[in-house]
Structure 1
Amino acid sequence: MPVAVTSPRGESLLAYAFMAPAVLLIAGVTGYGTYSAFDYSLYEATIALKKRFVGLANFREMFADSSTRGNVWTTGIYLLAGVPATVALGLGLALLLDVRVRLAGLFRTLLIVPWITSLVITALLWRFVLNGDLGPLPRALESVGLSGIQFLDQTWAMPSLVLASAWNGYAFSMILLLASLQQIPESVGRAARVDGLSPWLVFRHILLPHLTPTLLIVTIVASMHYLNMIELPLILTGGGPGRQTEILPLRLYREAFDYYNTGYASAMSVVVFAFNCVLTVFYILAARRRAT
């Protein structure tokens, strides 16, 4: 016989009870993986074997390595260009979709296709689109007199990687921001129009304050997405030309699975984890300062 829940406290306890198994499973898997990364980072190790304890030697070697410092610099550029592009694209499309027009549902469905598309397929698609010989984008530019652009060369490889990454990631931001926009009462918009506010003032003083918590969430998620990106740079550019697009996660992957240097790769993963934590704290503090 079903048990009736008669109080908000009872409903909350029931909700926590249903969520507990999934939360404990995720926490256990995540916790074990994090512990293993910290543990292996203190050893000279391969994928299946810890050879000997070396303490912080992997970290000292990593910070002394000029190529690793270059990877960190490249990762910073990738983040600083990619995260704002992803969030801005998602916000712009959310604002465009927050209208009642015919076929709006169809447009929304089409716009989430990049998000549900495999990263491998995304990388192969953009590799074709940007191909200097056969790609649609270079050919379209040639038709307007802009010929000879090689999108995967030293000059354009990073912008091309950012473009592909933003195209893949904007849909998540768009969905959350659109949901947040649709929580604003219609009466607020009508009042703003009656008062004669311009679209910019409506966005600045009404929409943006309401969207700030959601913007914080999508920025944090986008940053983590970029800091854990491997498939796109691996397939689209291979980290090249040279090491122009070899971001830290890609270097980590190669150390672990190409060179079987698991201890060194684990030390890199600890650094990536630290970057994630620092960025998250920075975003939260910035949002709180803005709120005050």
Structure 2
Amino acid sequence: MSDSSLQQPPKRIWASLITNLSYLPGLLTLHHSLNHPSPDPGIASTNLNAAQGTKYPFVAFYTSTFPATGLEILKARGIPAKHVQSVTPGITRKYAQDPRFAETWNKLIVFSLEEYDRVVLLDGDILVRRNMDELMEMELDGRDVLDNGQARRAFAAAHACACNPMKKEHYPATWIPANCAYTTQHATPDHAQSTAPAPGSGVGMLNSGVLVVTPSLKIYDEISTGLADLARIEKYDFPDQELLSEVFDGRWVPLPYVYNALKTLRMEGVHDCLWRDSEVKAVHYIFGTKPWHEDR
């Protein structure tokens, strides 16, 4: 598929990065859900905006590993596609327990795409439940501030959940409920629907499933400098999100959980005391088995 339709790109877009066919069912569903969100019926009847499709366009970013058959499917669905460069740091770690992590470095390229004023990058395993166009207008540092190296609100993302409810043995020993940012909100669940845990809460790490970005080459230079520290990034358990959390420590804006509602938060005894189906705007189906892998 040609990128010709993007020669004069819109300035504010939703996007998702795809590198192979395995995530294509998810990306197609994500695109549909942005245009046709499915809020709780009670919400849809009282909040018309929640059920409205987005007014902003969606673009599929793809790397050279994405096959032509996938591009044809995107074209058939009317989804614009833009080729982006791969981000491949020279490390030897293969992430054997979570092979998908080897691809997540590629998401960092979004910070370099200055032809856009705002990109909200969504993982392909996200389902939109409610309109969330407000992310396109939320206050972040402008490019003038970013380019001067004075960023204090460089981008926005939700906190990672550090509870490790699936008891993955290769996760850090510090990833326990007591060290989770969302645990700090258990006493104030109403507040949690619209307010994020404080910056630096818990392990202080973001989840990169939803990234609200004002692209800036200055910011991307900082990322590239971090990528060049091979001894450090070789030790990362969570590639892109660990790098972003370290390089921009204290300089990213936390989002409320509703914008990146990790499906495991809803599990009994995890953060089910916070989760409200009626408030969640985007469900993130984390871990290796996705909804499209399950037998119906």
Bin the TM-score by the shorter chain: under 0.3
The structure where strand makes up a greater share of residues is 2
- With a CA cutoff of 8 Å and minimum separation of 6, indicate the structure with the bigger relative contact order: 1
TM-score normalised to structure 2 length = 0.26
TM-score normalised to structure 1 length = 0.26
The structure where helix makes up a greater share of residues is 1
